[in-house]
Amino acid sequence: MAAMMLAACSSSSDDAANSTAGTQTEATVTTDGAETTAVLTKEDGKLTGVSIDVVTEEGDSKKDLGADYNMKSDSKIGKEWNEQVEFLENYILEHGVDSVKLDADGYAESEDVKSGCTINLKDIMQAVDEANAK
């Protein structure tokens, strides 16, 4: 399953957010049957890659589903799940893991983050934080 998660996590079109050079750490958070996985790549202590994915209870990677996940019409910013996560990956890569603060409900507090990612980030950031701590 972990190999599938890594393969699913590397499907983003942004090579910088998914760098494979350096040391990788991974963490998975499971909630209601869905597995949220974050893979962070660091080189000389510097974050060089971030990859996030959720595999649903049915076994589908939300990244791989892309537009077929079909949340764009319900999105406040008109973006699909994979587009929002790609934005978040790049935001974390540029600003650091600690730059993403969540409110009590698990949504981003920062307007900068909310401009490209309005999904609930509770499990995502828990996985990112756990991977970062390794």
Where does 2-133 sit in CATH, by number?
A: 3.90.1010
pLDDT beyond 50 at 27: yes
How far is Cα 127 from Cα 54, in angstroms, rounded to an integer?
A: 10
pLDDT beyond 80 at 124: yes
DSSP helix/strand/coil, 95? helix
Segment 71-88 shows an average pLDDT of: 96
pLDDT beyond 90 at 14: no
Q: Where do the structural domains in the chain lie, given as residue ranges?
A: 2-133
CA distances from residue 127 to 71, 78, 91 in whole angstroms, order as listed: 22, 25, 16
CA distances from residue 14 to 10, 50, 86, 102, 110 in whole angstroms, order as listed: 9, 10, 8, 25, 23
Q: Tell me, what's the pLDDT at 22?
A: 85
pLDDT beyond 70 at 10: no
pTM, rounded to two decimals: 0.83
